Amino acid sequence: MREVLLTEIKTYQSEYKEEQAFKPRFESLLSNYDNCFERSLLMGHITASAWILNYKRDAVLLLHHAKLDMWLQPGGHADGDEDVRAVAVKEAEEETGISGFVFASTKIFDLDIHTIPERKEVPKHEHYDVRFLLVAPERAVPQLNHESNDLKWIHFSNLKEKISHEPSLLRMYVKTKQLI
């Protein structure tokens, strides 16, 4: 799976300069660190997340992350699993209480590298996040879990104000608007 992901990242096309700048860093991590899918690689590691559209494709499901105190898409650590698509779905299910997601596309939707601040015994590090576009089943009702302060569908008409603090979320918003 690592080689598949490496190939996908090498061939990933984006009009965004920041994503193009992330590609060689992803390639280096995947090529040089056998444990890059483990959070034990303290400098940084692979994560996967899901940008989730509702069934009507007019809203995105975001959570207010308890530790980071910001609105984000569901996602998390690979914990050794090199199948980042499976990780994105697993994290989406765990963090939203929804099952039955479908991929709007199996291709990578977005790439991001972001810094996670030091917390207790874990030093500051980077998440190399591979993001996928998912669609929730009709009438999906999210269930809050312990990792979030809030979890809700945010209609596109209100989305920009919720995510204006985070350039990568704005980037995914723009990409989504171009698709639908």
Instruction: Tell me the C-alpha distance between 68 and 98, whole Å.
Output: 22
Determine the angle formed by the axes of helices 17-32 and 167-179, rounding to 10 degrees: 110
Written as six digits, the tokens of 134 are 């998912």
Architecture per CATH, 2-179? Alpha-Beta Complex (3.90)
- pLDDT tens-place string over residues 80-137: 999 999 999 999 999 999 999 999 999 999 999 999 999 888 999 999 999 999 999 9
- pLDDT tens-place string over residues 23-42: 999 999 999 999 999 999 99
- pLDDT tens-place string over residues 37-71: 999 999 999 999 999 999 999 999 999 988 778 88
Instruction: Tell me the C-alpha distance between 4 and 112, whole Å.
Output: 18
Query: Which SS3 state, helix, strand or coil, does residue 87 take?
Result: helix
pTM, rounded to two decimals: 0.95
Only one residue has tokens 């917390």, namely: 119
Which sequence spans correspond to the domains of the chain? Answer: 2-179
| Span 140-147, average pLDDT | 90
Instruction: Tell me the C-alpha distance between 130 and 75, whole Å.
Output: 9
